[in-house]
Amino acid sequence: MIKGHTEHVDQIAARLAVFDELTIATSKYEVVVLEGCDGTGKTTIACNLAERHGYTVLHSDRPPDAIDLAERYRSILARPGKIALDRSFISELVYGPVKYGQSRLSAPDAAELAFRLADRGGVLVHLTGSPDIIAARLRARDGYAPPLERIKSVIESYRKVFDALAGSAPTITADTTTPLTWHP
């Protein structure tokens, strides 16, 4: 009983250390775009950035279809001050095709937004991890997790989108399910 409890506490401490390291690493950027499937720690890092470094946090839910997404994100990226986006245009590229059959943003739109982010002193943060651990986090948090195959598919879709945007903006990729060793 004690051993299992100790292992659980160690896992929590390791996870918190990962989030702390990512918070420190991203705090040098004016705009931080946090992306990854549910359960990877986007909101945790966004809240850390707000509490410790004064960022304004914007959570991007899917806006109505009539909204021009590219223009919406251009406007967000033009705002002054430190901003942490808990989801952004990248989520549209991943979830649009999965949930709605298509993305409302084109690849050129996404690249333009990534370049604007870079010009604004921003960074893309790709959070990923083990599907099994992500599913366990979701069950603990929400009482439910999608099937592992769906989680794997979303993780792979994010990887492809980040690969396509490589070189457009500074990018940090982190597996939030394993301890992080940061090399600036």
Residue with tokens 């004690």: 2
Are 93 and 105 within 8 A, CB to CB? yes
pLDDT digit string, tens, across residues 107-130? 999 999 999 999 999 999 999 999
Q: DSSP 3-state assignment of 104?
A: coil
- Measuring CA to CA, how many Å separate 129 from each of 100, 103, 109, 123, 177? 25, 24, 27, 19, 5
Confidence of residue 17 (pLDDT cuts 50, 70, 90): low
- pLDDT tens track for 52-110: 999 999 998 777 778 899 999 999 999 999 999 999 999 999 999 888 888 999 999 99
Between 3.30.110.40, 3.40.1000.10, 3.30.1330.10, 3.40.50.300, what CATH number should domain 2-175 receive?
3.40.50.300
pTM of the model: 0.87
Spatial strand order in the sheet of 83-86: 56-59, 83-86, 31-35, 122-128, 171-175
pLDDT in tens, 147-170: 999 999 999 999 999 999 999 999
